[in-house]
Amino acid sequence: MKVTGLIVEYNPFHNGHLYHLQESRSSTNADIIICVMSGYFLQRGEPALVSRRTRTKMALAGGADIVVELPYAYSVQHASLFSRGAVAVLEAMGADTVVFGSEHGKITPFLELDSFLMDHQAQYESHIQSFVKQGMSYPRASSAAFSQLNPGHDLPDISQPNNILGYNYVKAIRELKAKIKPATIKRIGAGYHEKEKNSQSIASATGIRHELIEKQNHLEAVADTMPSSSFDQLKEDQDHQPDFFHWNLYYPFLQANLLTASPSRLRGIYEAEEGLENRFISQAKQHSSFTAFIEAVKTKRYTWTRLQRLATHILTDSDKELMLKVLQAHKLESIRLLGMNENGQKYLSLARKEMEIPLATKMNRKKGPQAVLDEKAALAYFLPLPPSKRIQRYKEEYSLPPVRFASKEDRFLSN
């Protein structure tokens, strides 16, 4: 049985994701597609547009066989740790191949890139530190340092976001000594960060969110960019919760934390470094929206994404000690099963007997550091809801069984 893994956020699941999923199944001749999906907060420090349960339904309706969660400790991280956690999950689930989308589109150059950077590691890191000292952000410094090494034209351009992730997936496989093999499919349609929607039916998730949140357009404005099943799920979600989740809804809670917590407490939050907590406190006293707040805090050295991740960790009260316990354990506590179809259920009935890491379907009463962080993220995610609904939605996320999808009947067997 051939098992292919995908590392996803599906924020939301759109036509480009459908293309990636279908091409991944076809190119690897996969019997099973496993998606490891970020939960409530995402790699760039953003809240997911809709809950993980809704996005799980989108994935299953789009052709995934199994959806599991990438723990919070890895989902809101820079590319290296994000990739390491996701690859570890897929390896534990028995995936043979991980397929990622990239601007480059061919896997051999990524393997060559990994070898090249290993051979030039000391020089590369030295260049990075030099550029950081000049005031560059880490991503810009990394790109500039790479150029300084004169890599040639055949290696992937690691200034491109999906190429960066692709390189880190390959690197994680090597460092973890994983059996899983990497493969890539060339991205088509809109660019990763492209905001404006055009006539293409394949838009970026960033562009879709821009239409729905910043432009405040109705769902119909993005209907042609996603499968009808995704559109239906968004519509159903909006019927129960009029506002999609986005940072401005969370800002009052972030602001309250910043204005009431002691500086020493904030210094203990993961990614609070070099006095950033003081900049956060200062600007929280002056700005009434998250966008204005981040714009005021942002510098050449600290990117919007870097600051959003810190803001997320403050919102979820994710302290350094707890986070480092997870990251330094070098082993997952458990893997949370979010959903499956009939094929996925058959695979799991066999695979879980061989798995060394427990497959969880509900919150464990004995929570280790990984589960504590996941629970904090879940509680924080529903803060923008009316008080009467916050705990209800949190309880539903953890008390309802994994989503089950009957592929042949095209319907969900659980809510």
Domains of the chain, by residue range, sit at 3-103+184-245+325-412, 247-315
What mean pLDDT comes out for the span 340-354? 94
Q: What is the mean pLDDT of the chain?
A: 91
Annotated binding site for ATP: 7-20, 101, 162, 187-188
What mean pLDDT comes out for the span 399-409? 85
Structure confidence at residue 202 (pLDDT): 66
Annotated binding site: 7-20, 101, 162, 187-188
What mean pLDDT comes out for the span 77-83? 96
Q: How confident is the model at residue 191 (pLDDT cuts 50, 70, 90)?
A: very low
pLDDT at position 198 over 50: no
Share above pLDDT 90 across residues of the chain, in percent, rounded to a whole number? 69
Distance between CA atoms of residues 350 and 343, nearest Å: 11
Structure confidence at residue 323 (pLDDT): 97
Enumerate the H helices of 190-302 as residue ranges.
Answer: 205-209, 228-240, 247-260, 263-267, 276-284, 290-297
pLDDT tens sequence across 299-340: 888 899 999 999 999 999 999 999 999 999 988 999 999 999
pLDDT at position 195 over 80: no
User: Which tokens is 136 given?
Assistant: 């560059």
Cα Rg of the chain, angstroms: 21
Q: Among 2.60.98, 1.20.120, 3.40.50, 3.30.70, what is the CATH number of 3-103+184-245+325-412?
A: 3.40.50
Structure confidence at residue 414 (pLDDT): 57
Who wins on pLDDT, 156 or 152? 156
Who wins on pLDDT, 58 or 300? 58
Q: How confident is the model at residue 408 (pLDDT cuts 50, 70, 90)?
A: low
Q: 183 near 196, Cβ under 8 Å?
A: no
Sign of CA pseudo-dihedral 368, 374, 377, 382: negative
C-alpha triplet 70, 76, 78: angle, nearest 5°: 110
